[in-house]
Structure 1
Amino acid sequence: MKNKTAKLSLFAITWPLFIEILLYMLMGNADTLMLSQYSDNSVAAVGVSNQILSMVIVMFGFIATGTAILVAQNLGAKMDDDAREVSAVSIGANLVFGLILSAAVFIFSEQLLRLMDLPPELFEEANSYLKIVGGFSFIQSLIMTVSSIIRSYGFTRDIMYVTIGMNVLNVIGNYLFIFGPFGFPVLGVEGVAISTTVSRILGLLAAIYVMTKRVPGSLPVSMLFSFPKKHLKNLLNIGIPSAGEHLSYNGSQMVITYFIATLGTQALTAKVYTQNVMMFIFLFSIAISQGTQILIGHMVGAKEIENAYKRALKSLKLAIIISIATAALVSFFSKDLLGIFTDNMSIIELGTTLILLTIILEPGRSFNLVLISSLRAAGDVKFPVYMGILSMWGVSVTLSYFLGIHLGMGLVGIWIAFIADEWLRGLLMLWRWKSRVWVKKSFVPAK
């Protein structure tokens, strides 16, 4: 089979990814926007719970990331049987891992929230949300794995349609449980958690159906839980360091959220609203980085090294230009955008300042998103982890406390720390890519 994905342009792969990521963000924003009509405290409670859940998602991501890279490299090397075997092994592995983590979150939800030093008025709602969404988070682990497989085969549009369906179902569920039309019970945060979980279950079923139709040949079912050493070793060799970079980031964000919690509920709420708006700025860079990862995985598998090198740099320039333009546009309308979520002028004014700083922050984030994805696709997965840990904890966390708490600059000081971290890591990743050390890191030899 001539590799279909290798023929696709960055645009052809990326635009469905852009729509998919946008809809995932809208799903989160729908929760926030609808809950903001119910209670600002509910928004803060869900925001803190999601900070914990993001750590869980990162843990699921280490197998999904390894899957995406190994399937792409195998397809690039025309090793289709191996690609299918990797797909089957990764689904079984992430199901087992997902069930273990889901059970842990459900059982220890109260202890996890206490670690966040949550204000007492938020605890009950945050715990309810965390138990429901966290307890069923293994569904998300399977969605991530199946979606990675389908994307690596080039069918990014199909996963986009699945995400559209999930988003629509989630919004409908939110509306029913928050506003209580047609006699539905008004459940608030608990209702949002139920809606999120049900929409994910239906989305998983749809994704599995798409995979059975789109992946050429059938997956070797016997390998779902046999975990052959060859494939499992490669998955872990790629996935664990990749997850380490994300885990370090989310861990540092949890510590910083703890700092913000000491500033009070209003500061927490301002952070949640501001980051909801900021998501629409960097989603372009996320889509470009994911599309670039698929292409570079295929190019490296096919040993088209020069094409891979140029592709990453072209993608980086595109991501930087778009992120600066989008950040400037969003900053211009920031008061109106924040006003959608709240009428608290203190929160709006603070959020407006933070979004203005985002014009400096986002180009640095573009370096990280695009180049780390490119290095990972080439098999160079350890360097981003080492540099990430150094910068996230040595710069982001340390400066957040020093500027935000010690010097009393609050969220503005914390945002300045974010800027320093993103730019330092970004420039280090550019140096690494240009060094071409990654050329010898491929996990899949060409046949």
Structure 2
Amino acid sequence: MAQHQDKTKKNLTLFALTWPIFIEIFLHMLMGNADTLMLSQYDDNAVAAVGVSNQIMSVIIVMFGFVATGTTILIAQYIGARRDLEASRIAVVSLAANLVFGILLSAVLFFSGPSILRGMNLPPELMDTALMYLRIVGGFAFVQALIMTAGAVIKSHGFTRDAMWITLGMNVLNVVGNYLFIFGPMGFPELGATGVAISTAASRTLGLAVLVVILYKRVNGELPFSFIFKAFPKTELKQLMKIGVPSAGEHLSYNISQVVITMFIASMGTVELTTRVYTTNIMMFAFLFAIAIGQGTQIIVGHLVGEGKFEEAYRRCMRSLWIGLWVTLGAAGLFAAFRVQLLSIFTDNPDIIQLGGILLLLTVILEPGRTFNLIVINCLRAGGDVRYPVYIGILSMWGVSVTISYTAGLLLGLGLVGVWFSFIADEWLRGLLMLKRWKGRQWQNMSFVREEDRKKA
């Protein structure tokens, strides 16, 4: 056990942790873009329908994330404090909890899909396609819940490369499945968006199977699965809820606000809705670097806080923030410069290309603000400060982003440009407030591993 732990600690450098996370997230995004790109050759309406369904799925995935986030932070701090038993129990309880939660939400998506889509003001011509996609992908949502949780356990122990390779395999399977079911070669049926849904669900299921094998190989000796059958894990669940619910609250608020904004955009028309999907898919690659740096930094800060090395944790966050800002700004500038060429990959509709080009120019201002949130908020959570980001997030997302989207986008007639102005204001306001909070160092008194526990370990 000690040998495994020492090996994990030696590998806890930002680069060693971040590059596999970067590739993993890149592949996740590539999977979504592969769906969009391949569907765009089939039908623009299918792209819009799948985009709305995926907006709903993003909310569900965030709800799974409250367990995964709590798992990552607790295991990182316990490993840093050399409390292996508590770390292993958290891992087991989190897997069981997200399995039950995932099955319940899968049932909700499958049976309540029509009501959910109607509530989003989806145009009637998109309803059948969106519903079929939502029922297939949503019905297998519990698979994604387990993938997120098992991945959190593995990455908290320092094995970020494993998650990367599994994601690569899922991508390959997904692209092959898309090709077979969208275009129907070799006698396969042409199923369009339904085929994309089948391919997505199948690739995730196979990916989970491999992830279980990796989990058994890497950390099985530290995962006492019999523990959850002996007594109700009240203490562990309470810890997960204490961290995970506030942490996921910020993500959940963001995604629900995005659903509301999507409703505004849907009322603008199919062109605007499709433009948002294409532009967002391109923008994801601009903030990919910040996401990877934020997740890698969270693991390192969690370990350092668990060890009581607060000054090292503080400096690590600030260095990561500057790296993320410069890299993200460069990526956003590059995408803005080649905006027409990038959008032309997805569509030849001149209205979509023109509008999407304006949004990509605004992205140069938007993405640095988002970087503050992606990196500093992860550090605050890793330090134990999980409530403040939620309070500020809810106020800003709804008071700034949703309000300005409606006012500028619909009432003032600025459309998607007005919506993008709201995103800029929201991300920068929250980002600067999070930086101020980190510099205030209140998180140093919020560690989940108390000082007396570290001395005892």
**What band does the TM-score fall into relative to the shorter chain?**
over 0.9
Q: Tell me whether 1:329 sits opposite 2:311 in the alignment.
A: no
Q: Does 1:60 align with 2:64?
A: yes
Is residue 14 of structure 2 the alignment partner of residue 10 of structure 1? yes
**Counterpart Cα distance in 1 of 2:60 and 2:6:** 34
Are 1:367 and 1:429, in contact at CA under 8 Å, matched by a contact in 2?
A: yes
1:268-287 alignment runs, 5 A limit: 268-287=273-292
**Contact 1:90 1:224 (8 Å CA) reproduced:** no
Residue among 425, 429, 432 paired with 2:434: 429
Any unmatched runs of 5+ in structure 2?
A: none
Give 2:51's aligned residue. 47
Q: CA deviation at 1:334?
A: 0.9
Alignment pair present for 1:254 and 2:259: yes
Q: Is the 8 A contact 2:85 2:222 kept in 1?
A: no
The residue type paired with residue 401 of structure 1 is: Y
- TM-score when normalising by structure 1: 0.99
Quick one: distance in 2 between partners of 1:388 and 1:6?
Answer: 33
Shift of 1:221: 1.1
Distance 2:96 2:220 in 1: 19
Tell me which moved more, 435-444 or 226-235.
226-235
The more displaced of 77-86 and 10-19 is 77-86
* CA deviation after TM superposition for structure 1 residue 296, in Å: 0.5
1:112 equivalent to 2:116? Answer yes
Structure 1 runs not aligned, ≥5 long: none
1:416: which partner in 2?
421
Asked whether 1:368 is paired with 2:344, we answer: no
Does the 8 Å contact 1:15/1:287 carry over to 2? yes
Question: Which residue of the other structure, out of 291, 315, 330, is the alignment partner of 1:310?
Answer: 315
Structure 2 residue identity aligned to 1:308 = A
The answer (yes or no) to whether the contact 1:72–1:294 under 8 Å persists in 2 is: yes
Residue 228 of structure 1 and its aligned partner are, at CA, apart by: 1.2
Deviation at 1:32, TM superposition (A): 0.2
Percent identity over paired residues: 63
Shift of 1:81: 1.4
Q: In the alignment, does 2:341 pair up with 1:341?
A: no
The corresponding residue for 1:186 is: 190
2:296 matched residue in structure 1: 291
> Distance between the aligned counterparts of 2:245 and 2:226, measured in 1?
24
Q: Which residue of 2 aligns with 1:101?
A: 105
What is the CA distance between 1:4 and its match in structure 2?
3.1
TM-score of the aligned structures, taking structure 2 as reference length:
0.97
Residue aligned with 1:281, SS:
coil
Looking at structure 2, the residues matched to 120 and 148 of structure 1 have their Cα atoms a distance apart, in angstroms, of 39
Contact 1:90 1:145 in 2 (8 A): yes
1:218 shift after superposition: 4.2
Is residue 123 of structure 1 aligned with residue 127 of structure 2? yes
Q: Does 1:354 pair with 2:359?
A: yes
Aligned to 2:40: 36
Contact 1:289 1:315 in 2 (8 A): yes
Matches of 2:21 and 2:152 in 1, distance apart? 11
Measured at CA, do residues 227 and 201 of structure 1 come closer, stay the same or move farther in structure 2, by a change above 3 Å? Answer: farther
Find the aligned partners of 2:9 and 2:425 in 1 and give their Cα distance: 37
State how many pairs are aligned: 447
SS of match in other structure, 1:3: helix
Matched residue type, 1:346: D
